[in-house]
Amino acid sequence: MSVEPAKPTDLGDSDHLEVLGYQDNFNRSMSLWANFALGFTYLSPLVGVYSLFAVALTIGGPPSIWWIVIVGAGQLLVSLVFGEVVSQYPIHGGIYPWARRLWGRRYAWMAAWIYIWAMIVTITAVAGYGSGFVASLFGIAATPEVVLGFSLGLLLLALVFNFTGTKTLARVAQIGLAAELIGVIGVGLYLLIFQRKQEFSVFFDTMNVEGDGSYATAFIGAAIAGLFLFYGFEACGDVAEEVENPGRRIPKAMILTILVGGVSALFSFGGYVLAAPDLASIVSGEDADPIPGILEATLGPVGAKVFLVVAVLAFISCVLSLQAAASRLLYSFARDGMIPGHRWLAKVSANKVPRNALIVACTVPAIITLLIYVNPAITLPVTAFAVLGIYIAFQMVVLGALRQRLRGWKPAGTFSLGAWGLVVNIVALAYGLFAIWLMATPGSSGDFVADYAVWIGLGVVLVSGFGYLFIARPDRKSDAPAGDAIEVAERLRQRRVETAAMTTVD
DSSP state letters, 442-494:
---SS-HHHHTHHHHHHHHHHHHHHHHHHHH-GGGS--S--S-HHHHHHHHHH
pLDDT tens digits, 452-463: 878 888 888 899
> Would the pLDDT of 152 be above 90?
yes
pLDDT value, residue 338: 80
- Determine the 3-state secondary structure of 243 from DSSP: strand
pLDDT value, residue 9: 58
> Would the pLDDT of 284 be above 80?
yes
Q: Average the pLDDT over each of 55-59, 166-170, 194-198 and give the range with the smallest value.
A: 166-170
Structure pTM?
A: 0.87
> Would the pLDDT of 451 be above 80?
no
pLDDT value, residue 293: 83
Q: How many Cα atoms within 13 Å fall on the side-chain side of residue 127?
A: 35
Residue 235: phi and psi, rounded to 5, are -60, -25
pLDDT value, residue 504: 65
The percent of residues above 70 in pLDDT, for the chain, comes to 95
pLDDT tens digits, 221-235: 888 888 888 887 888
pLDDT band at 506; cut points 50, 70, 90: low
pLDDT band at 4; cut points 50, 70, 90: very low
> How many angstroms separate the CA atoms of 144 and 426, rounded?
46
Q: Helices marked H in 276-378 — which ranges?
A: 279-284, 291-335, 342-345, 355-374
Do the beta carbons of residue 233 and residue 254 sit within 8 Å? Answer: yes
Mean pLDDT of 374-378: 78
Mean pLDDT of 233-250: 90
> Would the pLDDT of 277 be above 50?
yes
> Would the pLDDT of 269 be above 80?
yes
Q: Average the pLDDT over each of 155-159, 248-252, 377-381, 418-422 and give the range with the smallest value.
A: 377-381
> How many angstroms separate the CA atoms of 40 and 232, rounded?
7
Mean pLDDT of 180-202: 86
> How many angstroms separate the CA atoms of 359 and 284, rounded?
44
> How many angstroms separate the CA atoms of 317 and 328, rounded?
17
Residue 10: phi and psi, rounded to 5, are -75, 140
Q: Which residue has the higher pLDDT, 102 or 293?
A: 102
> Would the pLDDT of 2 be above 50?
no
Mean pLDDT of 386-405: 93
Residue 243: phi and psi, rounded to 5, are -115, 130
> Would the pLDDT of 82 be above 90?
yes
pLDDT value, residue 173: 81
> Would the pLDDT of 84 be above 90?
yes
pLDDT band at 78; cut points 50, 70, 90: very high
pLDDT value, residue 1: 38
Chain centroid to CA 191: 27
pLDDT tens digits, 428-438: 999 999 999 88
pLDDT value, residue 312: 86
| pLDDT, mean over the chain | 87
pLDDT value, residue 7: 52
pLDDT value, residue 125: 85
Q: Averaging pLDDT over each range in 87-91, 188-192, 329-333, which range is the top one? A: 87-91
Name the percent of the chain in helix, strand, coil, to the closest 5.
75, 0, 25
> Would the pLDDT of 3 be above 80?
no
